[in-house]
Amino acid sequence: MPLTTGPLRRLDRIAEQIGRLEGVISDSPPEVFPTGIAPIDAAIPAGGLIRGGVHEWCSGNGGDGGDRVATPSRSRRSDLWRSPFPLTIALHLVGSIARASAPFVCWIGRRTWPSCSALLATGVPERSVFIDAPRAAERLWAGEVVLRSGTDTVVVLDGSGMDLTMTRRLQLAARGRGIALLLRSDHELNTPSAASTRWRVSPMATSGTHPRWSVELVRCKGTQPTTGAPRRWGVEQKRDGTGVVCISEPLGDGSGATADQTDRSERLGDSSVQARRSA
């Protein structure tokens, strides 16, 4: 039996209340930090990463989306530096945010810690704090405490093992002056999450000495990218190791589905997608 206008309006009000609690809906325009990659910023409805939100960055291609060398140094020690996460992208974003403000940066979880030379390249070593929290519950607690501090804060957090409830708590804690970059490995790409945006970073073939990745916008909460807009771009690490630059035209949405199909699946939400897969 179809819903009448009254129940639909009540559902809309409930959805709006949930959106306000999660920081997706606000009466004032949100503060936005550009990613520093102009084609990507142009494709995001807000024009960048929203302050007061959680933004997930997942490695792709069977775990190879992480950084094999997370530092521009050519020393023997740097050759041994490994991470399952796209740390070069995270460092680029931290540097871009630092140029727009002077944030306090908290790296939570040993696997998010960059090398010394890579950290120096971002310009924020004197404002960085490192927290070794092995378990997901410990990382969640530390992230909430930092994000609720009321200061200009960037939290780079190991999101391994975090479920929908945990990410919702982080989203609520980030409201105000905080912004969280949640790093995940590829096998958690379809894990339900309350994050404002979700991205996938996968390696690209290169004939040069500088690593390349494809950066794909998987999900944008609250508002969807324009139908037919690009969702995937190629980027390359800068020669001085201080970030990445866009090196190709948009690569498409990377899904093989039409824009309308992708938008519809995103409106259904990560939870319903996960439920259908489990059925």
Per-residue pLDDT tens digits for 88-108: 889 989 988 888 887 889 999
Average pLDDT (22-46) is: 75
Region 203-223: mean pLDDT is 82
Q: What's residue 47's pLDDT?
A: 86
Mean pLDDT of 174-199: 89
**Residue where the block lists tokens 């120096």:** 120
Q: Is the separation of the CB atoms in 259 and 227 below 8 Å?
A: yes
What's the rounded mean pLDDT across residues 247-251? 62
- Cα 123 to Cα 33, 92, 110, 148, distances in angstroms: 17, 11, 20, 24
Q: Are 163 and 56 in contact (CB under 8 A)?
A: no
Is residue 25 over pLDDT 90?
no
Which pair of tokens denotes residue 253?
Answer: 């949405």
Q: State residue 158's pLDDT score.
A: 94
Average per-residue pLDDT for the chain = 75
**Pairing verdict, β 197-204 and 128-131:** unpaired
Give the pLDDT band (50/70/90) at residue 257.
very low
- The residues that bridge with 114 in the sheet, in sequence order, are none
**pLDDT value of residue 228:** 61
What is the set of domains in the chain, with CATH numbers?
Answer: 32-278 (3.40.50.300)
Residue 159: the pLDDT is 93
Count the alpha carbons within 13 Å of 157 in the hemisphere toward its beta carbon.
34
In the prediction, which pLDDT does 275 show? 40
Please give the helix or strand (H or E) that residue 244 lies within, else none: strand 244-246
Name the more confident of 133 and 25.
Answer: 133
Is the distance from CB of 63 to CB of 185 less than 8 angstroms? yes
Is 167 or 74 the better-scoring residue by pLDDT?
167
pLDDT number for residue 193: 92
Of all helices (H) and strands (E), which one includes residue 225? none
The predicted structure's pLDDT at residue 276: 39
Q: Which of 85-94, 232-241, 260-269 has the highest mean pLDDT?
A: 85-94
- Asked if residue 142 lies in contact with residue 133, where contact means CB atoms within 8 angstroms, the answer is yes
- More confident call, 13 vs 19: 13
Tell me the average pLDDT across 237-248.
73
Q: What is the pLDDT of residue 263?
A: 34
Say if CB 186 and CB 62 are below 8 A apart: yes
Per-residue pLDDT for 188 more than 80? yes
pLDDT grade for 38, boundaries at 50, 70 and 90 = confident
Q: How confident is the model at residue 204 (pLDDT cuts 50, 70, 90)?
A: confident
Predicted confidence (pLDDT) at residue 66 exceeds the cutoff of 70: no
